[in-house]
Amino acid sequence: MEIKKLYYRIGEVAEIFNVPTSTIRYWESEFDVLRPRKSTKGNRMFTERDMRYLQMIYQLVKVKGYTIQGAKDAMKTKFDSLEKNAMMIRTLSDAKRFLTDLDKQLAAKQKSL
Protein backbone atom coordinates (compact mmCIF):
# COMPACT_ATOMS: atom_id res chain seq x y z
CA MET A 1 0.00 0.00 0.00
CA GLU A 2 1.43 3.35 -1.04
CA ILE A 3 1.24 6.09 1.56
CA LYS A 4 0.75 9.53 0.08
CA LYS A 5 2.45 12.52 1.61
CA LEU A 6 0.38 15.00 3.56
CA TYR A 7 2.24 17.97 2.11
CA TYR A 8 4.46 18.62 -0.88
CA ARG A 9 6.97 21.46 -0.97
CA ILE A 10 6.93 23.73 -3.99
CA GLY A 11 10.20 22.28 -5.28
CA GLU A 12 8.73 18.79 -5.20
CA VAL A 13 5.60 19.99 -6.97
CA ALA A 14 7.65 21.73 -9.66
CA GLU A 15 9.69 18.56 -10.16
CA ILE A 16 6.59 16.36 -10.40
CA PHE A 17 5.09 18.59 -13.10
CA ASN A 18 8.45 19.41 -14.69
CA VAL A 19 7.88 23.17 -14.52
CA PRO A 20 9.77 25.96 -12.72
CA THR A 21 8.63 26.93 -9.21
CA SER A 22 7.73 30.35 -10.64
CA THR A 23 5.08 28.64 -12.78
CA ILE A 24 3.54 27.00 -9.71
CA ARG A 25 3.49 30.38 -7.91
CA TYR A 26 1.93 32.02 -10.98
CA TRP A 27 -0.79 29.37 -11.20
CA GLU A 28 -1.46 29.85 -7.49
CA SER A 29 -2.02 33.57 -8.09
CA GLU A 30 -4.33 32.92 -11.06
CA PHE A 31 -6.44 29.98 -9.86
CA ASP A 32 -8.51 30.50 -6.72
CA VAL A 33 -8.82 26.74 -6.17
CA LEU A 34 -5.11 26.55 -5.34
CA ARG A 35 -4.69 27.41 -1.69
CA PRO A 36 -1.53 25.82 -0.35
CA ARG A 37 -0.92 26.19 3.33
CA LYS A 38 2.09 28.15 4.43
CA SER A 39 4.53 27.13 7.12
CA THR A 40 5.62 29.52 9.83
CA LYS A 41 8.56 30.37 7.56
CA GLY A 42 6.19 31.13 4.68
CA ASN A 43 6.98 28.00 2.66
CA ARG A 44 4.12 26.68 0.57
CA MET A 45 2.81 23.24 1.50
CA PHE A 46 0.59 21.65 -1.14
CA THR A 47 -1.97 19.00 -0.18
CA GLU A 48 -3.26 16.08 -2.27
CA ARG A 49 -6.26 18.30 -3.11
CA ASP A 50 -3.90 20.98 -4.43
CA MET A 51 -2.04 18.32 -6.41
CA ARG A 52 -5.29 17.23 -8.10
CA TYR A 53 -6.01 20.84 -9.07
CA LEU A 54 -2.47 21.29 -10.32
CA GLN A 55 -2.84 18.16 -12.44
CA MET A 56 -5.96 19.65 -14.03
CA ILE A 57 -4.27 22.99 -14.63
CA TYR A 58 -1.16 21.31 -16.04
CA GLN A 59 -3.21 19.20 -18.45
CA LEU A 60 -5.20 22.18 -19.66
CA VAL A 61 -2.37 24.70 -19.96
CA LYS A 62 0.72 22.65 -20.78
CA VAL A 63 -0.71 19.61 -22.56
CA LYS A 64 -3.81 20.95 -24.30
CA GLY A 65 -2.51 24.49 -24.83
CA TYR A 66 -5.32 26.41 -23.14
CA THR A 67 -4.77 30.00 -22.11
CA ILE A 68 -5.01 30.76 -18.40
CA GLN A 69 -8.49 32.23 -18.93
CA GLY A 70 -9.51 29.24 -21.04
CA ALA A 71 -8.33 26.88 -18.31
CA LYS A 72 -10.27 28.86 -15.69
CA ASP A 73 -13.42 28.68 -17.82
CA ALA A 74 -12.97 24.95 -18.45
CA MET A 75 -12.51 24.29 -14.74
CA LYS A 76 -15.78 26.11 -14.05
CA THR A 77 -17.82 24.32 -16.70
CA LYS A 78 -16.24 20.83 -16.89
CA PHE A 79 -14.84 20.41 -13.39
CA ASP A 80 -16.12 16.88 -12.69
CA SER A 81 -14.79 15.36 -15.91
CA LEU A 82 -11.48 17.23 -15.55
CA GLU A 83 -11.08 15.96 -12.00
CA LYS A 84 -11.81 12.39 -13.09
CA ASN A 85 -9.25 12.68 -15.91
CA ALA A 86 -6.65 14.15 -13.56
CA MET A 87 -7.14 11.28 -11.12
CA MET A 88 -6.76 8.72 -13.93
CA ILE A 89 -3.60 10.41 -15.19
CA ARG A 90 -2.13 10.44 -11.68
CA THR A 91 -2.98 6.76 -11.18
CA LEU A 92 -1.42 5.82 -14.52
CA SER A 93 1.68 7.90 -13.74
CA ASP A 94 2.05 6.17 -10.38
CA ALA A 95 1.66 2.76 -12.05
CA LYS A 96 4.25 3.67 -14.70
CA ARG A 97 6.70 4.85 -12.01
CA PHE A 98 6.15 1.62 -10.05
CA LEU A 99 6.71 -0.58 -13.12
CA THR A 100 9.81 1.38 -14.17
CA ASP A 101 11.30 0.98 -10.69
CA LEU A 102 10.43 -2.71 -10.67
CA ASP A 103 12.08 -3.16 -14.07
CA LYS A 104 15.25 -1.47 -12.79
CA GLN A 105 15.29 -3.70 -9.70
CA LEU A 106 14.83 -6.84 -11.80
CA ALA A 107 17.58 -5.78 -14.19
CA ALA A 108 19.95 -5.12 -11.29
CA LYS A 109 19.10 -8.49 -9.73
CA GLN A 110 19.62 -10.28 -13.03
CA LYS A 111 23.07 -8.66 -13.42
CA SER A 112 24.09 -9.92 -9.99
CA LEU A 113 23.20 -13.53 -10.85
pLDDT value at residue 2: 47
E-strand ranges in the chain read: 8-9, 37-38, 44-46
pLDDT value at residue 85: 74
pLDDT value at residue 92: 84
pTM score of the predicted model: 0.71
Domains defined along the chain, listed by start: 8-112 (1.10.1660.10)
For residues 37 and 47, is the Cβ–Cβ distance under 8 A?
yes
pLDDT value at residue 1: 40
Position 88 pLDDT exceeds 50? yes
Question: Side chain identity at 57, as an amino acid letter?
Answer: I
